[in-house]
Structure 1
Amino acid sequence: MKKNIFFLFIIGMSLHTGLSQNPEIKGDAFAHTYSIVARDSITGEMAVGVQSHWFSVGSIVSWGRSGVGVVATQSFVNPAYGPHGLDLMEKGKSARIALDELVAKDEGKAFRQVAFLDKKGNAAAFTGEKCVESAMHHVGENFSVQANMMLNDDVIPAMKKAFHENSSLPLAERVVKVLLAAEAAGGDIRGKQSAALIVVGPEKVANSWEEKKIDLRVDDHTEPLVELERLLTVARAYEFMNRGDVAMEENNVDEALKQYGKAEELFPENLEMRFWKAIALANSGRMKEALPVFKAIFEQDDNWRTMTSRLPASGLLNVTEAELNQIIK
């Protein structure tokens, strides 16, 4: 009962100190957490990684826009920091100026924790005086790490160290290592529940569906970071699959096989990746190599046999009728 009263008190404080008098910035979601905003100095990609003991943290904390920047807004979340911050940075304002401008308007700033990073790698962060301890942030070159309601003061130093020690990794994998380091150092005092990772590119895109290069969310899980890391591996595997598909469209079978092979190495238990590799082998006339792969797939799931019989009509399997019968039977 005491816990419920305390929770309602905190939420009430959030509502009371919200920005109902200011239509420009308004919000009071509850998401205490740790996060990182970061930029890859070589590729120019930008990312947000976050974990919290709160459901679906990625739906409110992480924001990004290709060729513009990224935002993490947490503690008593004001989600408007995301789109408004990105709009200001898109107009040419630095992360620091954009963040300061929005914080100045925020009547609930004492309860906020926010980090901005612009396309040039300039980072800025703000931790309100009312954020629940342990609450702090660290801003460095091309990144900022921030956390509130942590078990101890070791979380931010651990995140900073992990960011520097994993500089050889691609940005997404580097961000996950930072989150894992935060958890290992103590993490959220309440435990863990959800996590998210977004990566946007260095250049503006013409189409909204091209905005995020990586967009992964674990909304409710006993080990959200373990699952996030697994999903990232799967996502990388499907990147190779997509490249293989493009190669097939260009009739470059050798390149397709190369890309499908890389996908299979990352996700060997996935039947679809093995299947399209077999299709590529068959299309290149390498039936002796393709047949054992088809057989193994059909033995695990016979629906793929039916799938195979439908592909010639779509032009995706270019074999003779005799060869098709050989594959099917």
Structure 2
Amino acid sequence: MNRLLLLIFILSLTNLQAQNIGVEKDAFAHTYSIVARDTITGEMAVGVQSHWFSVGSIVSWGKSGVGVVATQSFVNPAYGPEGLELMANGVSAEQALTQLVEEDEGRDFRQVAFLDASGNVSGFTGKNCVEAAEDLQGKNFSVQANMMVNDKVVPAMAEAFVRYSDYPLAERVVEALKAAQEAGGDIRGKQSAALIVVGPEKTENSWEDKKIDLRVDDHENPIKELSRLLKVARAYEHMNRGDLAVEAGNMENALKEYGAAEKMFPDNLEMKFWKAVALANSGRIEEAKPIFNTVFKADKNWKEMITRLPPSGILTISEEELKEITE
């Protein structure tokens, strides 16, 4: 950093300290984001991208049956849990955000968006957010950005979210992020991205709260990687349903779900293996054999794996059939 830039940086921090608002201790997350709700499923989501490490760890917040929050610029993380608590107690997104902004001495440096389970949305962009900075609300969504290359980023996000209305919510959010980047994006570039999706109903089990929880903490093309991870997540949703079908003894459904996953990622050995297991359990040994052979050839550990399944009841074939498969 040359001396002039260093001096400007020091003077900037000194000015913040002089204002006694505490933002000099807050994390930078100049970024673009979207909070949104699916009117059909009731799911709610936050999508975000920034030229900052691990943006998802501080910007995106959500709770099933309650709402979602994006808090950025000079991030005050308290907007996340405190906003969700207010909305959980019946306070609307607009009232909750207004209350927290009024209590925040560093409000001029904040950019925040709230969305509640009823689809109410509210956004706030402090007057000291770095341009191009703006928030824009639509039906069941809010898009917001600061430190952008130009003022086209936010409208592009809104337009994309509306245009892809036939997509599942998570995919719509990713399309909005892609549109933001295509419109210019963060003036500093790209580094991290995140996506969370929560359900429409409250749950007492914390492990059921987030239906999708993906983070790309450090990547040269974080949105592209986020999109890839979302596709993987969708494939493993099929895998999970396949496992539940096996547990219930419904091999027909198991085969259907494992097959759907394998179709999405045909080179994935795990998906091939469990599809073959479902085939074997359905009495279709001859169809299963070439799939098992492909998997075993690629990684011999899977051959050992299959011998461990019969005692658990996951593989329900005879010893002779098992021998045929492993020879």
Fold shared by both chains (TM-score > 0.5): yes
What is the identity, as a one-letter code, of the residue corresponding to 2:31? Answer: T
Q: 1:309, 1:324 within 8 Å by CA — same for their partners in 2? A: yes
User: Structure 1 residue 310: deviation in Å?
Assistant: 1.1
Q: Which residue of 2 aligns with 1:273?
A: 271
Q: Which residue of 2 aligns with 1:131?
A: 129
Q: Which residue of 1 aligns with 2:62?
A: 64
Question: What whole-Å deviation, never above 9, does each CA across 1:49-85 have from its counterpart, x for those lacking one?
Answer: 0000000000000000000000000000000000000
Q: Which residue of 1 aligns with 2:113?
A: 115
User: Structure 1 residue 274: deviation in Å?
Assistant: 0.7
Superposed, which structure 2 residues align to 1:170-189 within 5 Å?
A: 170-189=168-187
The whole-number CA distance in structure 1 between the counterparts of 2:270 and 2:115 is 38
Which sits farther off after the overlay, 264-273 or 46-55?
Answer: 264-273
User: Structure 1 residue 3: deviation in Å?
Assistant: 3.6
What is the identity, as a one-letter code, of the residue corresponding to 2:129? Answer: C
Over 3 Å counting, the alpha-carbon distance change for 1:16 and 1:230 in structure 2 is farther
Q: Which residue of 1 aligns with 2:72?
A: 74
Q: 2:13, 2:24 within 8 Å by CA — same for their partners in 1? A: no
Unmatched runs of 5 consecutive residues or more in structure 1? none
Q: How many residues align?
A: 325
The whole-number CA distance in structure 2 between the counterparts of 1:233 and 1:83 is 29
Q: Which residue of 2 aligns with 1:202?
A: 200
TM-score by length of 1: 0.96
The whole-number CA distance in structure 2 between the counterparts of 1:121 and 1:130 is 28
What is the identity, as a one-letter code, of the residue corresponding to 1:34? Answer: Y
The whole-number CA distance in structure 1 between the counterparts of 2:17 and 2:45 is 30
SS in 1 for 2:288: helix
Q: Which residue of 1 aligns with 2:292?
A: 294
Q: 1:27, 1:77 within 8 Å by CA — same for their partners in 2? A: no
Which sits farther off after the overlay, 227-236 or 26-35?
Answer: 26-35
Segments of 4+ in structure 1 off by > 3 A?
2-20
Unmatched runs of 5 consecutive residues or more in structure 2? none
The whole-number CA distance in structure 2 between the counterparts of 1:89 and 1:195 is 25
The whole-number CA distance in structure 1 between the counterparts of 2:16 and 2:305 is 54
Q: Which residue of 2 aligns with 1:30?
A: 28
User: Structure 1 residue 15: deviation in Å?
Assistant: 5.8
Over 3 Å counting, the alpha-carbon distance change for 1:269 and 1:3 in structure 2 is farther
The whole-number CA distance in structure 1 between the counterparts of 2:220 and 2:300 is 34
SS in 1 for 2:202: coil
The whole-number CA distance in structure 2 between the counterparts of 1:173 and 1:18 is 42
Which sits farther off after the overlay, 165-174 or 300-309?
Answer: 300-309
% identity of equivalent residues: 65
Match of 1:152 among 128, 144, 150: 150
Question: What whole-Å deviation, never above 9, does each CA across 1:86-138 have from its counterpart, x for those lacking one?
Answer: 00001101000000000001010000000000000000000000000000010
Q: 2:16, 2:24 within 8 Å by CA — same for their partners in 1? A: no
The whole-number CA distance in structure 2 between the counterparts of 1:226 and 1:210 is 27
User: Structure 1 residue 193: deviation in Å?
Assistant: 0.3
Question: What whole-Å deviation, never above 9, does each CA across 1:180-210 have from its counterpart, x for those lacking one?
Answer: 0000000000000000000000000110011
User: Structure 1 residue 19: deviation in Å?
Assistant: 5.2
Over 3 Å counting, the alpha-carbon distance change for 1:11 and 1:289 in structure 2 is farther
Question: What whole-Å deviation, never above 9, does each CA across 1:205-249 have from its counterpart, x for those lacking one?
Answer: 110011100000000000000000000000000000011111111
Over 3 Å counting, the alpha-carbon distance change for 1:110 and 1:8 in structure 2 is same
